[in-house]
Amino acid sequence: DTGVSQDPRHKITKRGQNVTFRCDPISEHNRLYWYRQTLGQGPEFLTYFQNEAQLEKSRLLSDRFSAERPKGSFSTLEIQRTEQGDSAMYLCASSGGRLIGETQYFGPGTRLLVL
Amino acid sequence: DQQVKQNSPSLSVQEGRISILNCDYTNSMFDYFLWYKKYPAEGPTFLISISSIKDKNEDGRFTVFLNKSAKHLSLHIVPSQPGDSAVYFCAASAGGQGAQKLVFGQGTRLTINP
């Protein structure tokens, strides 16, 4: 396993459309995190899972956002009725491996542009 | 409220010299701190971390110092190399070893000049 992967790497959509992003964590990692990064800022926490349970959600995660992690493996982040303010880089991270410990390792991100 | 602050948006250092990146935090519950490096169009890459029970951690050319009383940490890179040019983020968490959400600073863009 070479690391956290995310798909797609880039997404351009029109305002009002729904988008879905996928994250595949490092195998055996039981924790998975979603962050959002806008220009000139550091990543901001959105939500995190331990196995399939969603344990914490940020107030940034409006009701248009939903994240799932079925079977505790990959995760999806869906944004419904996208708005221009949703344009950002969406980052996924994982941690909790027996050998690696709790350090969060990030994927390459999905860059979303809402027109 | 910005709980983790990196007050220098950019830093320029001569190759071979020491680079010092600074970070301040306000939340006294933070007990684990990390530095990440980010190249354009890539995700953050973990560099080094430190627990609040320590005041220094070293890994090769990278050393992180933690001053709990001042709520300040710094990353020293020595000697600096051109490949170190990137944006550096400090991050903090409460609850031990980064198992919880990370709170990031705004980042410092480091440029290493040949």
pLDDT at residue B71, as a whole number: 97
What are the backbone dihedrals phi and psi of residue A39, each rounded to the nearest 5 degrees, phi first?
-60, 130
Question: Rounded mean pLDDT of A4-22?
Answer: 97
Is there a contact between B5 and B105 (Cβ–Cβ < 8 Å)?
A: yes
pLDDT at residue A71, as a whole number: 85
SS3 A22: strand
Tokens representing A46 are: 């959105």
pLDDT at residue A1, as a whole number: 53
- By C-alpha distance, the chain B residue nearest A111 is B41
When scoring A4, A7, A104, A106 by the number of chain B Cβ atoms within 10 A, the one with the most, hence best to mutate, is: A104
Question: Rounded mean pLDDT of A34-40?
Answer: 94
pLDDT at residue B10, as a whole number: 97
Mean pLDDT, contiguous 10-residue spans, chain B (114 residues):
91 98 95 93 92 95 97 98 97 74 95 95
Contact criterion met (CB < 8 Å) for A103 and B44: no
Residue A46 has pLDDT above 80, yes or no: yes
Contact criterion met (CB < 8 Å) for A45 and B103: yes
Higher pLDDT, residue A80 or A55: A80
Cα-based angle B42, B57, B29 (whole degrees, multiple of 5): 80
Identity of the residue in B46, B101, B104 whose CB atom sits nearest the CB atom of A56: B101
Contact residues on chain B for A95, CB-CB shorter than 8 A: 98-99
Q: What is the DSSP letter of A59?
A: T
Between chain A and chain B, the number of residue pairs with CB atoms below 8 A apart is 64
pLDDT at residue A29, as a whole number: 87
Contact criterion met (CB < 8 Å) for A91 and B98: no
